[in-house]
Structure 1
Amino acid sequence: MNPQRALHLIGTFELVTLVLLLANLVTIHHPSIAAALGPIHGLAYTSTIVIAVLVRNGHHRIWLLSLVPGVGGLLAARVTGPVDGR
């Protein structure tokens, strides 16, 4: 798997976990859901930043975009190039 594809997948996973955390907050606000999803989202966010630093190819904009919570990984993946490896 190329790094751009990994960045796209982890960025998508980060966004999904953030949406689930916010949905829990708005609807039932169950503490065990937040306790389970919070660390998973934090790990996905940190992984997105680490992969963006590895993929950056001398471009600081890539890893700076990854610092945006939720959509940063997807923005950084978009800047790195095509996801399908072409």
Structure 2
Amino acid sequence: MLRGLIASGRLLANRATTQPARLSRNLVTAAGPTSRCSLPHTHHHHPVAAVPALARGMKVRSSVKTMCDGCAVVKRKGRVYVICSKNAKHKQRQG
């Protein structure tokens, strides 16, 4: 069984190394040794889309606390929230 795996691995390795060489020789002989290959351009360039700004989530804590003077404690929907007008990282939700 081990010999069969090794033999099949060698066959695959030989096949992988010989086929591109045959292909390149065929292209050179068909197009001529000095002319350029006239194969179509296969990949397309797409403009890179701008990464949208990610909305910050809230920290979920058992006890919320204000972190700066811009933080405000509000109670909505039966929960306690900390909303900060100065730093979005300070947003918290109790629960």
TM over 0.5: no
Structure number with greater CO (CA < 8 Å, separation at least 6) is 1
Structure with greater strand percent = 2
Structure with greater helix percent = 1
State the TM-score, normalizing by the size of structure 2: 0.28
